[in-house]
């Protein structure tokens, strides 16, 4: 994480801070790790605004606050570089562009679901996503229990579908289900 390049002595302008943190906020997909790497690359390597010690300081201090740690770190970096105005510029840069993108995607999603073809596409995608999730879970469970891909030791696992089916067929579950109101079954049928 440490860079051999010397730290730049000039302070960035407020628009430059907004631009850099907007770029970090818009390009960081995949959670906190990718955002942290982008922040480190921009603030230490590309712009050389911070030393490795300064970056580590903002990282450690941001973990003390409740809430979104990476936004807190952006605020601390902005504060170190330009004071209160830098803190506000960094937080605006991190939050406003990604918020606007989220609003645009939400509007697009609502329009897509109101369209009959778009609704049908989403109705087909959701079960496919569930099927893919189950397939990945099956594969990971199989590999974890047996230590090898493709073996059938998963049937002995209490978390396996076969074990769940055996539990569902037990007499106590059947008695409970038969005592449930008939209207419960109608909500689940087609």
Would you place residue 175 in the very low, low, confident or very high pLDDT band (cuts 50, 70, 90)?
low
What are the DSSP calls for 96-135, one per residue? HHHHHHHHHHHHHHHHHHHSHHHHHHHHHHHHHHHHHHHH
pLDDT in tens, 22-39: 999 888 766 777 888 889
Say what the pTM is: 0.58
Is residue 131 in some structural domain? Answer: no
Is residue 110 in some structural domain? Answer: yes
Q: Which domain holds residue 59?
A: 14-114
Question: For 52, how many CA atoms within 13 A lie in the half-sphere containing its CB?
Answer: 6
Is residue 71 in some structural domain? Answer: yes
Is residue 125 in some structural domain? Answer: no
Question: For 87, how many CA atoms within 13 A lie in the half-sphere containing its CB?
Answer: 10
On the question of pLDDT at 11 being above 90, the answer is: no
- As for how many domains the chain has, the answer is 1
Alpha carbons 140 and 130: distance in angstroms, whole number:
15
pLDDT on residue 190: 41
Would you place residue 120 in the very low, low, confident or very high pLDDT band (cuts 50, 70, 90)?
confident
């Amino acid at each position: 994480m440490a860079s051999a390049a010397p730290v730049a002595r000039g302070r960035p302008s407020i628009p430059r801070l907004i631009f850099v943190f907007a770029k970090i906020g818009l390009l960081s997909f995949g959670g906190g790790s990718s955002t942290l790497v982008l922040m480190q690359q921009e603030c230490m390597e590309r712009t050389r605004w911070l030393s490795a010690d300064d970056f580590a300081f903002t990282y450690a201090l941001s973990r003390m606050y409740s809430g979104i740690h990476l936004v807190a770190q952006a605020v601390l970096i902005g504060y170190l570089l330009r004071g209160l105005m830098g803190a506000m510029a960094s937080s605006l840069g991190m939050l406003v562009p990604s918020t606007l993108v989220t609003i645009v995607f939400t509007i697009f999603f609502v329009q897509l679901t109101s369209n009959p073809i778009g609704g049908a596409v989403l109705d087909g995608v959701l079960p496919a996503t569930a099927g893919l999730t189950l397939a990945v879970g099956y594969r990971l469970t199989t590999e974890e229990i047996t230590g090898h891909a493709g073996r059938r030791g998963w049937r002995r696992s209490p978390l396996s579908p076969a074990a769940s089916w055996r539990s569902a067929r037990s007499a106590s579950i059947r008695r409970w289900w038969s005592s449930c109101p008939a209207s419960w079954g109608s909500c689940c049928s087609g």
